[in-house]
Structures are given as C-alpha cells and as structure tokens.
Amino acid sequence: MKKTLSAATLTLLLFALIGNADTDTTYDLVIEGARVLDPESGLDAVRSIGIHDGKIAALSSEPLSSRKTIDGSGYVVGPGFIDLHAHGGTLLSGRLQAFDGVTTAIEAEVGQLPVAKAYETAAREGRATHYGWTAGWGPARMQVMSGVIADGTMGRFTSALHDNRWTKKANPEQEQQILELVEQSIKQGALGIGLVNGYAPTVSHREILKLSALAARHNVPIMTHQRFWGDSDPGGDIAATQEIISNAITTGAHWYICHLSLATVDVTQPMIHAARNKGARISVEALVSETGSTFLGAEFLAPEVLPYFSRGFKPHDILYYGKPIKDNEELKRLRQKDPAALIFLLHRDSENNLAHRATQRQSFSLPGTILGSDGMPWQDRKGKYIPGAAWPLPEDAWAHPRSQATFTRFLQLWVREWQEFDLMDAFRMGSFNAATSLQDQVPALANKGRIKPGADADLIMFKLDDIKVRADLKNPLPHSLGMHYVIVNGVPLIEHGELNTDVLPGKPVRR
C-alpha cells in the first residue's frame, strides 16, 4: 500500500524546498575571484562577492552564481573611497570623482543651509554617488550679517564670500540668530556643523564655544577649517589647535579637523594625541594634494594679510587660471574684479622636494587619519558654475585637479611609486577611517568602508599598475584612469573604465 503524505510532512517538504531555493539565490551581481581587501577585518585574499539589493550578500572563497558576473581575476577590490571634504556636490562632480574611486562625497567643511533644500535638490536631480552635507555656519553667518539669504547652493556662498560683513563680530542677537539657523539645519538631518572658521578668524571665541556646545547637545560632529593657519605665533596652528582641544574637552563635542595644517605638524600632532588620551574626541583629516585652492576673494589672500598667512605667501604663489599673479597691484585688481575665481595656492611640492614629502608623510601619521580631497566646484573661467547635468566636462571648465584626482593620486604616488603605504592603508585611510570616525553620530556610514555581508555594496575594482592621474595645475580637465569598475549601491556606475550615464545610484547620507 502506498503511503500517503500527511499534511505535516507536506509542509515540511515544502519548507525544505523553499529553504533550498533560498540558499541557491542568484545574486544581482557577482564579482568573481578578485583580490579583496577589507580594512575592517584585515582580509586580503581572493574572494567572490555576491551583491543583492545594494548590499554585499556573500563573501565566499567558492564561486557564486549570478545573473551578471564580473571577472575579477587580477584585480583588487576594496570599499569605495569616502570623501568627507568635497565641495562639488553636483551630479557632475560626483561623476568625475567616481573616476577617482569615490563612491560617497560629503561636504563637511562649508556645509549647506538650509540643508533640507540641498538634499531635496540632489534627490530631485539624482546623483551618481552618495552625498551629504553638514549645517553651514558660513552661510548662516552670511544670511544674518550680510543679508544674503542662503538657498542650499554652493554658488550663493562663494559669490558672497568677498563681502566681508559676514566675517565680523556678531552682537548677542545676531549670534543667537546664527546659532538658530545652524540648529534648524541640524534638525533637518545635517551630518554635523560645517565651520569655516579660517575664513572668518576674528569672530568671537564665545560664538565658537557656543557652537561647540550646540554640536554636543545634538550629538553631531563639528567639522572645521580651523581659525588660524600656519606657523605664525601668536595666532597660528598652535592657537587654533588649543581652541579646538579646549572646546572638545569642555563641551564634549566631537571636533573634526579638516585638512590638518602642515606648517607645524611636529607640534600640533602631539597636542592632539595628548588631548585624545585625556578624552577629547578629535578626528583629523589630511589632504593628498598640497596645492591649496580657494576663491580669490578670501580674506586671507588680501595683499596685507598674505605675508602672514601659513608659511607666508607672495602674490606669485597664487595661480590665477594657471598663471602666477605678478604683484600686489594685480592681486588687488583681480580680487576686486573676480573675487569668485578659483585660484591655486602653491604650498609645497612633494613630487620634487623630499623635505616637503617627509612633512606630508608626517601629516598622515596620526592614528585614524582620514584622506580628504577638498575638491572644488567646477566653474567656467568667468566664475559661473557648470550645470550639474553637463557631461562630459566642458572645455572651458576649471577646478583644482584634486577635484577629480585625490585618491588616485594617493594610489599612484604614495602606494605605487613611493611605496610609503600599501593598498590596505589606502582603503583604511581613504574609506574605513572616514566611516568609523562618524558612524556613531551618522549611522548611515556604519555600513560603508568595509567588505562583509550586510555592508553597502559600494566597491571599486582596479589594477594598481593601471592607475593614472592626468589632471594637473595647468590642465585640471582630464579625469583619472584605471578604475575598471565602480559600483555604487550595487549598481555598476563605471564598467570597463567607462561611465554609465544612464544610472544614478547615489543615495543621501543623512541623519
């Protein structure tokens, strides 16, 4: 007699079948047999990565099956770079940074105001890579002190930079209004407070102390271009670092130092190290490019201030569209005529000067150091912003080469040519450290910067020998080469070195 299956047995059988089908899941995408580097676990081995629904679903030493497979043999795969110091913010700047291996670009230093508007615009237009902003203290100050109503764009901020009313000392009511505007944007989901103190160095210490208390109250980082710059004393790097340490300890806020000044790293790094040991929470970012870039209207470029700024500059250390400025007369005239022009500032030259290289090497040495680009917005030569949807980059565009060649520069020079760092260091400093420094305050970063099941599928794949930086100070236009695949949120944005302009996989990073 044939045995009939009971309902219970049937259910069990069905369950087993479903379970079986589950383990055979074909992934959306598999990278097969690449050398995978994970800075969190230290894994450096050949693995296959299964990607499903924007996440890493499997990391396996066995082959995985999928609808689409990328042959990773001979390639390195690591977490996409996280740039916390990117001023571009547009679709265009994100696309160009993708060729630099950047999958998340955040504007921490200047920030935006109102931050909700910046996020809305980005979501409406779409972005190639992940994006986010801090609450902009600079724009808040411009609104209160100069009457320039912030509109959530970088252009509004830079066009009002030269009108220095915004840098003046605020009275108590104005101070209150500035703090309220910043707080509104924090409540809208800003990642922290962006504090361009160095562009307004004479604001009161009380205002900055209050801002630090505000950051602590909302448990957000305060990310700063420090008040003073360089080795002038009093009033240089040491004083600026003392103020940061004091505010970090007394208010309990997490201070993030944008672009650590190289002038006195031998003094400021031990200060920061000692402060950390006493409980101060201070993160440090170091720039890969040592040629500065800012807007010609910035206060510290005024002829009377320039000799005292940083190492002490002369007009010819400023490159105006690739050409040195002759003298103070020309500097004065150009500042008046073209305050929004993007200039380059010749700080140091690590490629040709070994002492400079040693100093910059030192700037990377504090534990947890984060690499940043300080990438600038793309403008035409009249200072007008290039529309975000533009592609490819128009011929008359201009920006500092670091805007699209920072992490590839680190890979090419510091890892491959000078062998001062290895690939794991590059992924740690370029990605993992950025995620871990902020993740308890910005939970969206807790799944970035590492390669493990459950992590965000933001991945880059390349051969170190293929990395080639092409942008330089004379011609910043050509993007870097060598990123074979750039995957954002599980979606290939760059495939076989070519940008796919049909996909916009970038998502907001927001609190």
95 is an interface residue for Zn ion by CB under 5 A: no
85 is an interface residue for Zn ion by CB under 5 A: no
Q: Looking at beta carbons only, is 248 or 298 nearer to Zn ion?
A: 298
Nearest distance, CB of residue 75 and Zn ion, angstroms: 35
The first and second tokens of residue 342, run together, are: 């993007």
Nearest distance, CB of residue 504 and Zn ion, angstroms: 28
Q: Looking at beta carbons only, is 231 or 422 nearer to Zn ion?
A: 231
Phi and psi torsions of 225, nearest 5°:
-90, 110
Closest among 188, 191, 183 to 134, alpha carbons compared: 191
Nearest distance, CB of residue 415 and Zn ion, angstroms: 25
Residue 481 and residue 405: Cα distance in Å, rounded? 10
Q: Looking at beta carbons only, is 138 or 315 nearer to Zn ion?
A: 138
* Contact window for Zn ion (CB under 5 A) among 218-226, 279-287, 446-454, 461-469: 218-226
Residue 252 and residue 281: Cα distance in Å, rounded? 7
Q: For 56-60, which contacts have Cβ atoms below 8 Å and span 24 or more sequence positions?
A: 56/451, 56/452, 56/453, 56/454, 56/455, 56/456, 56/457, 56/459, 57/25, 57/27, 57/453, 58/27, 58/453, 59/451, 59/452, 59/453
Which residues on adjacent β-strands are paired with residue 78?
Answer: 460
227 is an interface residue for Zn ion by CB under 5 A: no
Q: Looking at beta carbons only, is 110 or 405 nearer to Zn ion?
A: 110
Helices (H), 364-440: 407-409, 423-427, 433-438
Nearest distance, CB of residue 287 and Zn ion, angstroms: 9
Which one of residues 225, 254, 402, 484 is an interface residue with Zn ion (CB under 5 A)?
225
Closest among 255, 348, 363, 273 to 310, alpha carbons compared: 348
Nearest distance, CB of residue 431 and Zn ion, angstroms: 21
Q: Looking at beta carbons only, is 70 or 223 nearer to Zn ion?
A: 223
The first and second tokens of residue 395, run together, are: 């011929």
User: Can you point out the beta strands (E) in 61-129?
Assistant: 69-71, 76-79, 81-83, 102-112
Q: How many residues does the chain have?
A: 511
Q: Looking at beta carbons only, is 130 or 225 nearer to Zn ion?
A: 225
* Contact window for Zn ion (CB under 5 A) among 32-40, 222-230, 391-399, 450-458: 222-230
* Contact window for Zn ion (CB under 5 A) among 33-41, 220-228, 427-435, 493-501: 220-228
Q: Looking at beta carbons only, is 103 or 261 nearer to Zn ion?
A: 261
Instruction: Please work out the total of residues on this chain that contact Zn ion, with binding judged by CB under 5 A.
Output: 1
Nearest distance, CB of residue 445 and Zn ion, angstroms: 21
Please identify the residue of the shown chain whose CB is closest to the bound Zn ion. 225
402 is an interface residue for Zn ion by CB under 5 A: no
Positions touching Zn ion (CB under 5 A) are: 225
